[in-house]
Structure 1
Amino acid sequence: MRRKVMAMVMAAMTMAAAMAVPAMADEESVTIGISQFAEHGSLDNCREGFLEGLKEAGYEEGKNLTIEYQNAQADTGNAATIADSFVNKKVDLICAIATPSAMSAYNSAMDADIPVIYTAVSDPAGAGLVNEDGTNVGNITGTSDKLPVTEQMALIRELMPDAKKIGILYTTSEANSVSTIQEYKDHAEEYGFEIVDTGINTIADVEMAAKDLASKVDCISNLTDNTVVSALQTVLAAANDAKIPVFGSEVEQVKNGCVAAVGIDYVALGKQTGEMAAKVLKGEATAAETPFEICEGGNVYVNTEAAGNIDFTISDDVLGEAAEIYETITVE
């Protein structure tokens, strides 16, 4: 009888312990839905940095963090569907990588008690994510990858003293691209340039548009336009045929074949975003009351193989100020 009682006590204690562990894990763990608009280096780096920033703040995947990751494959319809699914799953927070995903996440989570933290959004105001006074439109905040436009034009002028026309290919539905092109045009006269822009609707339009644009300009300056970046090799092929350089907007584009860029560090941008998200998850801040942040400044990156392929000369001065010099083209 005593053995039977002891067995029952031990069984009860084991059951209580088993029930206690999941309850504690559920209380401490969080689930984040990551919606990434397209698959390319800069956005991948953002996601990597975001997870690093969370880990440094105490949220580690597989321990107290569950990640639901979805990629929209540069389709705004997919981005909306992904955002809706995260809201339906009642995730604790949505991380939206790139402008279309951020806009979709905001629209989907507008009436839900789910904070949205975005990253790689060049113009939050132009995307309708902040009000005219700079305050957030709702329970949403994040980081901006606003491009150092004037620094980029200064670099192009230094390397191409006789150039007159800069070509820019962009997606007409991407608010970040539209506003960045306007900034190029606002400052073009200061550097003696004319901006020639060509709009596309889908990735299928890139090849023809790139060939046409390359025939009209002295160089191409590539933005962080998600559709165009997804087809960067097509743009580079058209430019190489025309023997004109393509200037990128961040390090991954230079690795992949652009001759040079003044660009930001997207891993660092992602870490900055992860730190913001951690504060919201811990209750130290709310997304609604946290101002969006801008990743300031940019580094010079150079690819000597890309320059050599079109017999383009990169001056010793620019090589001397470059944060990184890549001697080969790497396409992943």
Structure 2
Amino acid sequence: MKTADGALKASSYPKGKNGLSGKPGRDGSASASPGTAASLTCKDWFSLSAESAAHWRLSPAPEDGMAFVLRPRKEAAPKERYRIMVLFPKKSSAYDTAMETILSVFRDKNICAEFVGVNFFMKEEAGAAALRQAEADPCDLIFSMGSGSTDFVHKNHSAGKVPVVSVCAKDPVLLGQIRDYDTGSGNHMAFTSLNVPVALQMAYLRKLIPDLRNIAVIYARKNRSAVITQFRPLRDMAGRQGINVMEIVVEDRKNARAEIESKMPAALESVRKSGQEKNSLIWITGSTSVFREIETINRNAGVIPVLSAVPDVVTEGDNSAVLSIGVSFENNAYLAAIYAIRILREKAEAGDLRVGLVSPPDIAVNFKKAREIGLLIPFRFFELASYVYDHEGKKVRMKGQKVTDLAPQP
């Protein structure tokens, strides 16, 4: 669908303080010229890196800081200009990463689009208003950012006219949003998944630790999607294989650090008393409140390997998991962007698209952490890894490509 200039009507939203930081542009936008090192933020819930800010202008819409518009800084006169709404449920660094990836894909493929970001903070009235706005303005497509937004849109917009693509959302089949992985939704929603099938995940874990006896799973109880798609499937499969599963549950996500600090020692006491540290692992689910506490988790883990379903938790330096087997926010967002382009340019029907799965899974390895705890990484893992950090914790492979002449010795 072709749009006019596509400016979001601020009058459609409550007025108030705009909440944008950055140098104001002449049009009232927060701006950064190419070559500067200025990142941009929208209030305290969205951040745009300096690299992206060199190519995209972040404008306040509306004045209360709960929404923004991103437009290209430079664009030729396009035959088509698309308006895309991105529905956010909360603040998350994962969503910033996903948004950066989507912007990069659209720019690389020379697709002229503006992105209207709306944070509805999981409030039904605000979410419904955003969906009505997407239909009325109208938007050409909606990205439902995160499992919370995707669940809300599935319940409130599956019969809508504007096509939807989920991004940074967990397994839609396990969440009951779609029947299976090979059949489209039949409505206006196309789904992607952040999950790796649990059978495949378990196969990797058994390859890493053949005599695996214990898995301590850390998850947030209120993160419904992580509980349903990550914790329960792993618990059930581990139980069938005779592996003991210990739960470390965060009840209050705002108090996650203190809860993890107090609960981990007790949960791991039996493992340490039995001398089974080398046959055990700690598994971090995709709960933001959990994986952002990686420093606390590492400190309490000792020599027990800390693994994650989130590749982004494996990073440079010490505040990193040793290994991840999952789907990166970046690769999931890339797939979601490709789905969106198929819908916009190729006129594919969102409801005809099968669930977007990243395969093989993204593997990330930090050899510094592995050496510290004496964990041997199978060479096959090293071969397959998209992200590798060497024995000093420095990045040597990124997105499957070598970034330095120094290679780690597995």
What TM-score comes out, normalization by structure 2 length? 0.62
- 2:113 is aligned with 1:68: no
Whichever residue aligns with residue 126 of structure 1, its letter is: L
The equivalent position to 1:216 in structure 2, one of 253, 262, 267, is 267
Question: What secondary structure does 2:115 align onto?
Answer: strand
> 1:118 Cα shift?
0.3
Report the equivalent of 2:223: 174
The equivalent position to 1:28 in structure 2, one of 80, 98, 101, is 80
Report the equivalent of 1:98: 146
Whichever residue aligns with residue 251 of structure 1, its letter is: P
Whichever residue aligns with residue 210 of structure 1, its letter is: I
- 1:172-251 equivalences in 2 (<5 Å): 172-177=221-226, 178-189=228-239, 192-211=242-261, 212-217=263-268, 218-239=280-301, 242-251=302-311
> 1:168 Cα shift?
1.3
Q: 1:128, 1:227 → 2: CA distance?
A: 24
Q: 1:153, 1:213 → 2: CA distance?
A: 22
- 2:330 is aligned with 1:284: no
Whichever residue aligns with residue 53 of structure 1, its letter is: V
Question: What secondary structure does 1:168 align onto?
Answer: strand
Q: Give 5+ residue unaligned stretches, structure 1.
A: 1-20
Identity, % of aligned positions: 18
Report the equivalent of 1:14: none
* Residues 118/190 of structure 1: CA separation in 2 closer, same or farther (3 Å cut): same
> 1:318 Cα shift?
6.0
Whichever residue aligns with residue 267 of structure 2, its letter is: K
> 1:167 Cα shift?
1.3
> 1:152 Cα shift?
3.7
Q: Give 5+ residue unaligned stretches, structure 2.
A: 7-75, 269-279, 395-410
Question: What secondary structure does 1:271 align onto?
Answer: helix
> 1:166 Cα shift?
0.7
Q: 1:142, 1:294 → 2: CA distance?
A: 9
Report the equivalent of 1:147: 196
> 1:195 Cα shift?
1.9
CA displacement 1:295-324 (0-9 Å, x = unmatched): 122243211233355x33234636643523
Higher normalized helix content (fraction of residues): 1
* Residues 307/42 of structure 1: CA separation in 2 closer, same or farther (3 Å cut): farther
> 1:224 Cα shift?
1.8
CA displacement 1:217-251 (0-9 Å, x = unmatched): 44311122233234444433443xx5432101233
Does the aligned pair in 1 maintain the 2:159–2:188 contact within 8 Å?
A: no
Does the aligned pair in 1 maintain the 2:370–2:377 contact within 8 Å?
A: no
* Residues 148/301 of structure 1: CA separation in 2 closer, same or farther (3 Å cut): farther
Whichever residue aligns with residue 247 of structure 1, its letter is: L
> What's the RMSD between the two structures over aligned residues?
3.5
* Residues 137/236 of structure 1: CA separation in 2 closer, same or farther (3 Å cut): farther
Q: Relative to structure 2, which stretch is displaced further, 276-285 or 96-105?
A: 276-285
Does the aligned pair in 2 maintain the 1:164–1:193 contact within 8 Å?
A: yes
What TM-score comes out, normalization by structure 1 length? 0.74
Is the radius of gyration larger for structure 1 or structure 2?
1
Whichever residue aligns with residue 109 of structure 1, its letter is: H
Report the equivalent of 2:169: 121
Q: 1:137, 1:201 → 2: CA distance?
A: 37
CA displacement 1:237-268 (0-9 Å, x = unmatched): 443xx543210123311115101122334433
Q: 1:146, 1:80 → 2: CA distance?
A: 30
Work out the number of aligned pairs and report it: 300
